[in-house]
Structure 1
Amino acid sequence: MKIQTVGVIGAGVMGIGVAQNLAQTDHNVILVDIKEEILDKAKQEIKNNIRFQSLIYKKDKPTNLEETLNKIEFSQNYKLLENADFVIENVTERWDNKKQVYSLIDAICSADCVFAANTSAIPITRIASATKRADKVVGIHFMNPVPIKPMVEMIRGYHTSETTIEIAKNMLSQMGKECVLVNDSPGFVSNRVLMLTINEAVFLLQDRVATAEDIDKIFKGCFGHKMGPLETADLIGLDTILYSIEVLYENFNDTKYRPCPLLKKMVDAGLHGRKNGKGFYVYQ
């Protein structure tokens, strides 16, 4: 059965990508955020992304900009999510924020609606505990940029049912994506490895072992990575990187997850990467 209407919570980098991907695969989208200016910016970003993709990626069927935008309802009203068949949450990686959101939507959405947490590190079982539908909560860790990444990491929480897993797999298939199913653990597979790598790369920069350019050049030239760890950090957002590694540190109580002081300093200075024009590199 095709899932037709999908709620997307949070109109940041990831929420924008998820909403765009859904609209481009013929879904009706309700994109919710708390501020009108964030929603206005999201609409412009989606326009820019579609225009850029039409120039860079050749497709048999080019995306119709107006048709795609018409499939997205931009709103501050969470009440609209009562019409959603499936909800994908993308709010900031702070447990207090997520907990409030899930308590709110649990009371609004239909009993059959599945909740997918697009989180980098927070355990899915903890997220599910904020609802009365723990069996209908699953983790879907999308990769950035969402519309052109073919694979996601799906996370099974302690109570996640097989039915929910199948519904989520079907949803992803409709979006043109494959998934790898893993069990619940802070950071899952991808970010338990990636966040350590990025954090250690920042330590190398802080200790003046190498420049940002040379650190990234080694990973690209020696290992064949498309992007180095510091370029990847800028793409994800340094604030998101810091939040994620703080979650790992809190959950594992292991000093290997201690955030690099330079990373903290950069986030405090507002250097968040591509999203605001400056991180380890400067963007126009």
Structure 2
Amino acid sequence: MSGIETLGVVGGGFMGTGIAESAARAGLSVVIYEPEQAPLDRSQASLEKSIGRAVSRGKLSDQEGSDMLNRVAWTRSLDDFDGVDGVVEAIIEDAKAKGSIFKKLDALLPDATFLASNTSSIPIAEIAAWTQRPDRVIGIHFFSPVPVMSLVEIVRAIDTSDETLAAAGAFAATMGKHPVHTADRAGFIVNMLLVPYLMSAIRMYEDGFATAEDIDEGMKRGCGHPMGPLQLADFIGLDVMYAIGESLYEEFKRPDFAPPPILKRLVVSGHFGRKSGRGFYEYPPAKVPAAA
């Protein structure tokens, strides 16, 4: 057993809501925190829609769907985390923003089993340094969409204790996820391999070597990938891609991690991919995820 019965989730965006959904499906009670009401409303609407879809497809009974939704609460106050057994943070890829949250959580929750970050690229030790108890800080990196993807990366920082590591692994298993363990280096396992590939595809497009469609079709039909690299970048979010690339380049100073100029131009123009309706491709408004 993980010892986690009530989970706090910081961030009600696409990832945070997905983490909450998976935890609630596993029978855990969940409290989702956002400082503003609008993202909480989007999170609740997204979760209700997802559960409703599962019920309509026969994957959940009406009662199971109702019980699952009743296990989730939304709040604008971190004080409502009082009594949670563990926390997963899923906010923007910004070390200072995450560190500030962890400092507050550390003071508020002296008895929490772990304080985990869902970061995809920021070193866990950098986040843990904001706390007085770095032994219980760990990385639990979920993949999108969380209810579908079975993998989690568990990232042990320098000061993470054996007890915290064991609890995080048991928590992942409780949620039906397959944990892989990785050293605390920016990018961990998956993004260390994936990001150079995606950045290479973006540079290829930027240089006019081929169209976005042909780059993606080449990798789908030539390598059997379910999604081409530019489609995948749009799906991940170009703002997230840029932040991950910056973090990896800052850590390793390798040019294959550096975001190409066109990626920065798209991000500063508000073209984040699917969630904004435009990235390397354009997406009809109906396909933009409400909780992204």
| Distance (Å, rounded) in 1 between the aligned partners of 2:238 and 2:55 | 28
Where in structure 1 are there 5+ consecutive unaligned residues?
Answer: none
Give the corresponding residue for 2:227.
Answer: 227
Give the corresponding residue for 1:36.
Answer: 37
Residue type of the partner of 1:197?
Y
Large movers: runs of 4+ above 4 Å: 53-56, 60-63
Residue type of the partner of 1:6?
L
| Distance (Å, rounded) in 2 between the aligned partners of 1:62 and 1:227 | 34
1:66-122 deviation per Cα after TM superposition (whole angstroms, max 9, x unaligned):
322211111110111221101000110011111111111111013343011100100
Give the corresponding residue for 2:94.
Answer: 94
Do structure 1's residue 257 and structure 2's residue 257 form an aligned pair? Answer: yes
Contact 2:139 2:156 in 1 (8 A): yes
Pairing 1:1-284 to 2, within 5 Å after superposition: 1=1, 2-54=3-55, 59=59, 64-284=64-284
Q: CA deviation at 1:272?
A: 0.9
SS at match of 1:216: helix
Q: CA deviation at 1:148?
A: 1.0
- TM-score, with structure 2 as normaliser: 0.92
Question: Are residues 54 and 241 of structure 1, via their aligned partners in 2, closer, same or farther at CA, if it must alter by over 3 Å?
Answer: farther
| Distance (Å, rounded) in 2 between the aligned partners of 1:83 and 1:250 | 37
Residue type of the partner of 2:192?
R
Contact 1:84 1:113 in 2 (8 A): no
Contact 2:85 2:111 in 1 (8 A): no
Contact 2:119 2:141 in 1 (8 A): yes
| Distance (Å, rounded) in 2 between the aligned partners of 1:140 and 1:272 | 24
Where in structure 2 are there 5+ consecutive unaligned residues?
Answer: 285-292
Q: Aligned residues, how many? A: 283
If asked which structure has higher relative contact order (CA below 8 Å, sep 6+), I would say: 2
SS at match of 1:45: helix
| Distance (Å, rounded) in 2 between the aligned partners of 1:283 and 1:112 | 41
Contact 2:199 2:256 in 1 (8 A): no
Residue type of the partner of 1:149?
M
Contact 2:200 2:256 in 1 (8 A): no
Question: Are residues 34 and 60 of structure 1, via their aligned partners in 2, closer, same or farther at CA, if it must alter by over 3 Å?
Answer: closer
Residue type of the partner of 1:39?
L
| Distance (Å, rounded) in 1 between the aligned partners of 2:99 and 2:194 | 25
1:27-73 deviation per Cα after TM superposition (whole angstroms, max 9, x unaligned):
110100111001001111112222344556x6476783332221111
Over aligned residue pairs, what C-alpha RMSD do you find?
1.7
Residue type of the partner of 1:128?
A
Q: CA deviation at 1:158?
A: 0.9
Contact 1:93 1:243 in 2 (8 A): yes
- TM-score, with structure 1 as normaliser: 0.94
| Distance (Å, rounded) in 1 between the aligned partners of 2:213 and 2:51 | 30
Q: CA deviation at 1:155?
A: 0.9
* Of 42-51 and 20-29, the range deviating more from structure 2: 42-51
Contact 2:9 2:30 in 1 (8 A): yes
SS at match of 2:275: helix
| Distance (Å, rounded) in 2 between the aligned partners of 1:84 and 1:232 | 35
SS at match of 2:280: coil
Contact 2:113 2:164 in 1 (8 A): no
State the identity as a percent: 36
| Distance (Å, rounded) in 1 between the aligned partners of 2:121 and 2:73 | 29
Contact 1:30 1:74 in 2 (8 A): yes
Residue type of the partner of 2:83?
N
| Distance (Å, rounded) in 2 between the aligned partners of 1:23 and 1:128 | 27
| Distance (Å, rounded) in 2 between the aligned partners of 1:82 and 1:250 | 36
1:207-259 deviation per Cα after TM superposition (whole angstroms, max 9, x unaligned):
11111121111221122211111111111111111111111111222333221
